Structure 1
C-alpha cells in the first residue's frame, strides 16, 4: 500500500508541474498577443495558486478522512487506540508491582 500512495503522490506532483507549465505558457501567449497585461497575467497566476492551495487542503483532508474510514472498516487500531492500551498496560503493571505479584519477581 505504501508504494501505491507513493506512486499517487508522484502522479499528482507531475500533473501539478505539467499544469503549471501549461498555464504559464498560456498566460505568456496572452501577454504576447496583447490580450492581457503582464500584471494581469501575474494576478491571474497568483489567484490560481491560491485556489489550488485551498483545493489541495480540501482534498488532503478528504483523503485523510477516507483513509481513516478504510482503516476503521478494516479494524486497524489508531494511534490513540495504541496510546490508550499502552497507558492501561502501564497502570496494570504498576498495580501488579504494588501488590507484589509481578511475574518477574516470582521464582520459576
Structure 2
C-alpha cells in the first residue's frame, strides 16, 4: 500500500492534476483491496489533495519564474513597464500644453 501511495505522491504533476474524484477513486480502490481501512480513507484523501495543491502551487511558482526569466532574456517589455511609460508620456504631454 505504501508503495502505491508513494508512487502516486512522487508523481507531483499527476497529483497536482488529479481531481478530487480521481483521488477518491484511487483511495477507494485501496480500501477495496484491503490496503487501507475505511476509517483512514478520508484522511488519506485529504492528505493527497493537500499534497496535490502544494505540488501545483510549487509548479506554478517555477513556471512563473521561468517565464519571467525568458521574457527578461528576450528583452520584452512587461505590462508594468509599458504602463509606466504611458504614465510618463501623459505627464510630458500635459507639461507641453
- TM-score, normalisation: structure 2: 0.71
Q: Deviations over 1:43-101 (max 9, x none)?
A: 1111010011011111101101110110111111011111110111011101110xxxx
Number of positions where the alignment pairs a residue of Structure 1 with one of Structure 2 = 83
**Where do 1:2-21 residues align within 5 Å?**
16-17=17-18, 21=22
Q: Is residue 76 from structure 1 mapped to residue 79 from structure 2 by the alignment?
A: no
Question: Aligned equivalents of 2:74 and 2:29: distance in 1?
Answer: 51
Identify the structure with bigger relative contact order (alpha carbons < 8 Å, sequence gap 6+).
2
Q: For the structure 1 residues 57 and 26, does the alpha-carbon distance in structure 2 shift closer, same or farther, using more than 3 Å as the test?
A: closer
Could you say what the CA RMSD is over the residues aligned between the two structures, in angstroms?
2.5
Which runs of 5 or more residues in structure 1 are unaligned?
A: 1-11, 98-108
CA contact (8 A) 2:18 2:52 kept: no
TM-score, structure 1 as length reference: 0.64
Gaps of 5+ in 2: 1-12
